[in-house]
Amino acid sequence: MSGAQTEGERLAELAKRRGYFFGASGAYGGAAGFYTFGPQGAALKSNVEDAWRDRFTVQEGNFEVEAPTIMPEPVFEASGHLDGFDDMLVECPECGESHRADHLIEDETDLEDAESLPIEEVEALIADHDLQCPNCGAHLAGESVESFNLMFETNIGPGSSTPGYLRPETAQGIFVEFPRIKEYARNSLPFGATQIGRAYRNEISPRKSIVRTREFTQAELEQFVDPERDEPELDEVADVEVTLYPATEQQADDGDYVETTVGEAVDEEIIGDPWIGYFVGIAQEWYERIGVDMDRFRFRQHLAGERAHYAADCWDAESEVDGDWIEIAGFAYRGDYDLSKHGEYSDDDFTIFRQYDEPKTVERAGVDPDMSVLGPEFGGAAGDVKAALEALAERDPAAFEGETVDVDVDGETHTVDTDVANFSVDEERVSGEHITPHVIEPSFGVDRTVYTLLAHAYGEDEVDGETRSYLSLSPTVAPTDVGVFPLVSNVDELVDRAQAVVDDLRAAGFSVVYDDSGSIGRRYRRQDEVGTPFCVTVDRDGLEGDGPDSVTIRERDTARQIRVPIDDLVAELRTVESGARTFDDLVEAYELVAPGANA
């Protein structure tokens, strides 16, 4: 490794050379913020998605859906994205390059949450620190900072088409389908719906390769709960150890991390909601299992100015890469905001019927307007006035205490005599009530997780007198499970047997690469650098001995090799890949091949 290379530069070079990821459309000059995952990267990314699906969908007993990536404009009017999904843009007066103003401030000052500041304060900070354009060096003081909506706009259909947008998050695809999804859950809370898919944000200044892009993959879970009745199985994760960075510590002059357990964090109200604590605990274990370096990992609580207005609390899972902390997941308590908004804007029911333990007698306020009076008085608006009176009676019965009552219809106030409204309060026997569920959302960035795994897995050491670089990827996510080689490629018996081993491993479900090009040492190094956990070599010693035919298994991280009967190969690799046994266990059970024997 060159001493001048940063971790990010080294990772980008390795990713391009070994087929993990690279800038898209390079033949046409490329487009910032878009990346293609090569053969290794696509496999790693797919394995990360499968591991997430197994833990957050299958093991949690949730539903998985797949919604369209383009949705009509009213969806985003209801969700608030049309009005509030903005970043702060400042344009260079010399070269015309656009930059995220908050990123410029964070890069050049000690401030970490410039995104939460008002535009006027951001403009003042740019001037106070005399910030310059990273592209050409021009001074930006005095330039206006504008709000820029990040959604990609499109049209649905030809002619006078319907405006639509590429979704900026997968969540809305779950929320808008809630009326149907709840039927699959038998209208019973709690339940969760997951989705893994693409999202799109027209970033002002994409950067850090696949960390901040314009098209990316999210894995999201929307957990729907009754806030008064439903609690998570917190005991399952109570003892999970976590590194927390609460808002109070971030704001303190001598603030530091809090090393604790999930159970203690919830009990001490460091994490304010048990559901957030539950998913933080699951995520901690999941990230560790897929290979994130826990010494470079933390959960950071959002400061008040960072949180969305609907979020009661929010924590980010963050990984450290190249000296910077990268958000790789978020855990938000969204309340009933999303379902209430879609219920308000749409024509469907976004509530769940909550059954009482026993029927109750309740007082129900209502009206029975005299339409023989409303009709002549309000004409075509009479039906809307009646509906407005009914809604007002349910919302504010005290409004009918006077001689007249006012209702608003399409911005116009209408006055109705209380006698004509026929307001009354009646007793009614009810067995339950409709409630709007609350939502807890764990949202994972798949691309950023891939980036983190590659950065954290990179290592260098010396093997057989040579410096090697390798990726210590977990077998759970490694793009290839096994590399299979004949020791030499000019002996038909070795080649044929190696091909048979490949066929057996693939039939057993392993991802296998066959390689007979170059020296065996070079072949090992190639697989080490792409993170293949195990290499199997077919040699003469294994086929010409007195015992059963055997092969060597080489473990990537330590380069140790053992000799295993071919008939046992599939079973032993499966036990190690599943975590049932370690390679150390195999070393104890089988013959350890002398160092350098097949180097």
Residue type, 562: I
Rounded distance between C-alpha atoms, residue 223 and residue 394, angstroms:
29
Write out the chain's pLDDT in tens, 599 residues: 445 688 988 999 999 999 999 999 999 999 999 999 999 999 999 999 999 999 999 999 999 999 999 999 999 999 999 887 888 999 999 998 889 999 899 888 888 778 878 899 999 999 999 999 998 999 999 999 998 888 999 999 887 678 999 999 999 999 999 999 999 999 999 999 999 999 999 998 888 899 999 999 999 999 999 999 999 999 999 999 999 999 999 999 999 999 999 999 999 999 999 999 999 999 999 999 999 999 999 999 998 878 776 777 899 999 999 999 999 999 999 999 999 999 999 999 999 999 998 899 888 899 999 999 999 999 989 999 999 999 999 899 999 999 999 999 988 999 999 999 999 999 888 889 999 999 999 999 999 999 999 999 999 998 888 889 999 999 999 999 999 999 999 999 999 999 999 999 999 999 999 999 999 999 999 999 999 999 999 999 999 877 899 999 999 999 999 999 999 999 999 999 888 999 999 999 998 987 656 66
The pair of three-digit structure tokens given for residue 26, joined into one six-digit string: 């390079």
Helix (H, G, I), strand (E, B) or coil at 31: coil
Rounded distance between C-alpha atoms, residue 105 and residue 317, angstroms:
23
pLDDT of residue 26: 94
End-to-end alpha-carbon separation of the chain, Å? 22
The pair of three-digit structure tokens given for residue 347, joined into one six-digit string: 């024509």
Domains delineated in the chain: 1-82+159-351+436-468 (3.30.930.10), 86-149 (3.30.40.230), 360-432 (no CATH), 480-592 (3.40.50.800)
pLDDT of residue 2: 44
The pair of three-digit structure tokens given for residue 527, joined into one six-digit string: 């697989």
The pair of three-digit structure tokens given for residue 178, joined into one six-digit string: 């809630």
Distances (CA, A) of 72 to 63, 167, 195: 24, 10, 19
pLDDT of residue 596: 58
Can you say whether the dihedral through the CA atoms of 376, 381, 383, 387 is positive or negative? negative
Rounded distance between C-alpha atoms, residue 345 and residue 81, angstroms:
14
Q: Are strands 438-445 and 458-463 parallel, antiparallel or unpaired?
A: unpaired
pLDDT of residue 1: 43
Question: In sequence order, which residues have a C-beta less than 8 Å from that of residue 314 and are 6 or more positions away?
Answer: 301, 302, 306, 307, 308, 330, 331, 332, 333
Q: What is the DSSP string of 55-107?
A: IIIITTT-EE----SEEEHHHHHHHTHHHH-EEEEEE-TTT--EEEHHHHHHH
pLDDT of residue 597: 62
Q: What is the pTM of this model?
A: 0.86
Distances (CA, A) of 393 to 365, 378, 382, 433: 6, 19, 17, 17
Question: In sequence order, which residues have a C-beta less than 8 Å from that of residue 294 and are 6 or more positions away?
Answer: 243, 287, 288
- For 27-40, b/e burial (b = at least 16 CB within 10 A) is eeeeeebebebbeb
The conformation of residue 54, written as its DSSP 8-state character, comes to I
Rounded distance between C-alpha atoms, residue 253 and residue 256, angstroms:
9
Residues 291/52, Cβ–Cβ less than 8 Å: no
Nearest CA among 458, 478, 477 for reference residue 468: 458
pLDDT of residue 503: 97
